[in-house]
Amino acid sequence: MNRLTGKRTVITGAGSGIGRASAQRFAQEGASVLVVGRRAANTEETVELVRAEGGVASAMVTDASVEANVEAIVARCIAEFGGLDVFFANIATPGTNTPLLEQTVDEWNDVWQTNVISCFLAAKYAGRHMTAQGGGSIILTSSAASLRANAGAISYSASKAAVNSLTQCAANAFAGTGVRVNAILPGLVKTQMTETVFEYARQRGSENRIGHMTPMKRAGQPHEIAAMAAFLASEDSSFVDGQLFSVDGGVSSTHPFGRIAL
């Protein structure tokens, strides 16, 4: 398919995992991709993978949770590709499973900056350009952990719930401009960020039980989240706005239970 032919796109957190898979999928569908990541080697590797498949991509190494950097990301995409049609804000930090009564404000500030402020900045700076050009798609990465307790660290889950609200509020703030804002809520997906979960299961000999609480009975793969991102980036989703899409193997359709200590 070539649903993204001519689209000028930015993907943050694209050095690995969901971001890398999305960069490859976007390019396969015809988009030009500005691959943004914090680690030069990983970011360049993503670009090389895209180019090896015949895609168009450039690397930018920066922290996409800092305001001046996000403004520069948007400016770079416009300068290099001639515009900006899609911004996929995809950086995240998982927080820690420190008991609630022992957590610090510093941890919460770090999680909030990375998971929430980065999305706000994407909406602000991408939205400013997209409003002027008459439209565009902003995609935010939330999490199925935002919907109920015990699916992730407390600070992480709370921050992703804020991303959900931001998605809806931003979509309405852009009413009538042609700028759409939607969020993807992945479940447990095998990425660099979740590797500790998989390693812990391997050490316990329970790797075959990962994802067993989902109707799909398995964990997800980055390319499965990338497929949803490509849909939201494309004109196939032209009447989709302010929505939260769980891509989680069905885990959010039920009430699996875990416990996080005080």
Q: How far apart are CA 218 and CA 226, in angstroms?
A: 17
What are 190's two structure tokens? 């095998």
Hey, which bits of the chain come out as E strands?
8-11, 32-37, 56-61, 86-89, 136-141, 179-186, 244-247
Residues annotated as catalytic (active site), given as ranges: 156
C-alpha 27, offset from chain centre: 17
Say if strands 86-89 and 8-11 run parallel, antiparallel, or are unpaired: parallel
* Gyration radius of the chain over CA positions: 18
Cβ density class 16-43: b for 16+ within 10 Å, e for less: bbbbbbbbbbbbbbbbbbbbbbeeeebb
Q: How far apart are CA 21 and CA 230, in angstroms?
A: 10
Enumerate residues 6+ apart whose C-beta is below 8 A from 61: 36, 37, 38, 39, 40, 43
Q: How far apart are CA 243 and CA 90, in angstroms?
A: 16
Q: How far apart are CA 159 and CA 98, in angstroms?
A: 16
Sign of CA dihedral 210, 214, 215, 218: negative
Q: Which of 186, 177, 189, 184 is nearest to 232 (CA)?
A: 184
